[in-house]
Amino acid sequence: MTANSNRGDATPLCELLTEQRIAKGWSQCDLVARLHTLSGNDSVTREEVSRWERGKRIPGPYWRQWLGDVLDTSSRELELAAAVARRRRRKDSPERRWTIIE
């Protein structure tokens, strides 16, 4: 898998993680178990992976490093996908409008 979708634009991290996990035939619980084993850190949960995959949250650099190791994906690809996710969040968020009330 690459950080490019069929449409020619870059893939956000939520889609990339989901695609790669499913391609390996893993459940979210399987991914969590592998992250726990490899990192030695059991603070990530299946619920957190679900948030990552739904685009509700973007994993920080610490978990992106371990995700790259577990999913056999380059850190460069994950960083690009995280940047795309952040860009889409900004684009999709409603504009802030100020109203002056006298």
8 A C-beta contact, residue 55 and residue 69: no
**pTM (2 decimals)?**
0.80
What would the mean pLDDT of 62-81 be, rounded to a whole number? 96
C-alpha to C-alpha distance for 59 and 33, rounded to whole angstroms: 16
Residue 95 within a domain: no
- The residue range of the domain holding 23 is 13-86
Beta strands in 1-102 (DSSP E): none
Whole-number percent of the chain with pLDDT over 90 = 75
Residue 76 within a domain: yes
Residue 22 within a domain: yes
Q: Domain containing 57 — which CATH number?
A: 1.10.260
Tell whether the model's pLDDT for residue 54 goes beyond 50: yes
Q: Note the pLDDT of residue 6.
A: 41
The total domain count for the chain is 1
Residue 41 within a domain: yes
Residue 23 within a domain: yes
